[in-house]
Amino acid sequence: MDARSDLQDLQAVSQHVLQCSERIRALEEEKRTVDPASERFRSLSNEIEALAEEIRSVSHAETGLAEDVAGRPGMPTVEEADHER
């Protein structure tokens, strides 16, 4: 793959992790206000667990991408690339 394609993949993965993290935080904040014996509490717990697993899986892919770009000179950070759009 070329550097641009790898960087776009890293941007997409990073954005996905951030979105999942924000969703986990919102669900966890809601869960803190719900009766722990309720079905809603269990449902929130299941959704949080699924999102956490998704983050783990996507982060594993991100590690592979990081290995692909390791040592390439002049690569911008993901944040810098986001601002170049």
Structural domain boundaries of the chain? Answer: 3-69
**Cα(33)–Cα(35) distance, integer angstroms:** 7
CB-count burial class (<10 Å; 0-12, 13-18, 19+) for 65: middle
21: enclosing H helix or E strand:
helix 3-31
DSSP 8-state secondary structure symbol assigned to residue 72: -
Entry pTM: 0.85
Lowest-confidence pick of 14-23, 32-41, 43-52, 74-83? 74-83
pLDDT exceeds cutoff 90 at 70: no
22: left (phi over 0), alpha (psi -120 to 50) or beta: alpha
pLDDT exceeds cutoff 80 at 34: yes
> What mean pLDDT is predicted for residues 58-62?
93
- The amino acid that residue 36 corresponds to is P
